[in-house]
Amino acid sequence: MTHDYVSQLSESIRKKRSPLVLGIDPRPENMPRAFQQGDEIDGIQSFYERLMDVLGDYIVGVKPQIAFFEIFGAEGFGLYSKLCEQARERGLSVIGDVKRGDIGSTAQAYAQAHFQWADCLTVNPYLGADSILPFLEYCRSERIDKATRYGIFVLCVTSNPSWAQFQGFTDAHGQALYLEVASAIRQWNADCLGSGEAYGPVGAVVGATRPQLLAEMRAALPSSFLLCPGIGAQGGDIDAVAQACDKDGLGVIVPMSRGLAQCFEVDDLGWEAKVREKAEATLAAFRRGIPGFQRSAGGH
């Protein structure tokens, strides 16, 4: 069975008129009270499976952050794989937020391991091309119609406060490091881009908390999806993210973790309705100014 991550993601965005991805960062103490009873691992699994169902019309994928599973040891890895499997069964793309960044055979092992569960992975480029090339072997267009074709998102302009300490460092010519990374991403993506494809499988992480840089990164990476964390709890700019889309609403993915999974009190029996309301409000703000989404009158 073959599968192409980019094609599935693009089709889901068009169909649902949504770039939203559910971030899965399990914090048991913030789950509805009913899911805090009994076995902790079972409660987490049940909660996020229910969240996927509640948000099924609004999200195109999930982004599990592996650190929140590693806390639970071997059981946590089992939970990670189960939730990835459940997401895929629901037709959702899985972005494994693992931020791997090693080299050689170690990077090869990371790719082999994590592409078992995820359609796409976040990776760290700061050891140079040696840390990226093993992942690219899983992203090349030659895999289309022959094997599963995966994707990666390379850290470029992150959403954290100290991002500029290294990413914003400039050389003697005034060129910022994040632009050097963007240039490399563009080349890696070009190497994997299939004939006639508008977007390739090598994207960039560009924080929604950096609205002044989103237009610059869109221009630098015209054929890459941008993964834009920071909407919700971090106060990212949804309007700026929307402007980084093309006229059909493609080109960005917007993960939300706490903004969806913690938008209610733990004792609130109406938590599902609040989650839907938050998703609808976020999408309403995003859809303004997207011609392709405005033309679609049906659905949510």
Residues catalogued as catalytic: 99
Q: What is the model's pLDDT at position 2?
A: 60
Q: Which CATH class is domain 3-290?
A: alpha beta
Name the pLDDT band for 300 (thresholds 50, 70, 90).
low
Tens-digit pLDDT profile for residues 260-290: 999 999 998 999 999 999 999 999 989 987 7
Name the pLDDT band for 243 (thresholds 50, 70, 90).
confident
- Check whether 297 has a pLDDT greater than 70: no
Q: What is the model's pLDDT at position 282?
A: 92
Boundaries of every domain in the chain: 3-290
- Check whether 85 has a pLDDT greater than 60: yes
3-state secondary structure the chain: CCCEHHHHHHHHHHHHCCCEEEEECCCHHHCCHHHHCCCHHHHHHHHHHHHHHHCCCCEEEEEEECHHHHCCHHHHHHHHHHHHHHHHHCCCEEEEEEEECCCHHHHHHHHHHHCCCCCEEEECCCCCHHHCHHHHCCCCHHHCCCCCECEEEEEEECCCCCHHHCCCCECCCCCEHHHHHHHHHHHHHHHHCCCCCCCCCEEEEECCCCHHHHHHHHHHCCCCCEECCCCCCCCCCHHHHHHCCCCCCCCEEEEECHHHHCCCCCCCCCHHHHHHHHHHHHHHHHHCCCHHHHHCCCCC
- Check whether 138 has a pLDDT greater than 70: yes
- Check whether 186 has a pLDDT greater than 80: yes
Q: Which residue has the higher pLDDT, 193 or 299?
A: 193
Name the pLDDT band for 56 (thresholds 50, 70, 90).
very high
Q: What is the model's pLDDT at position 294?
A: 65
Q: What is the model's pLDDT at position 209?
A: 86
Mean per-residue pLDDT for 46-70?
98
Mean per-residue pLDDT for 55-80?
97
- Check whether 238 has a pLDDT greater than 80: yes
Give pTM, 2 decimals. 0.93
Average pLDDT, the chain: 92
Q: What is the model's pLDDT at position 166?
A: 93
Q: What is the model's pLDDT at position 295?
A: 54
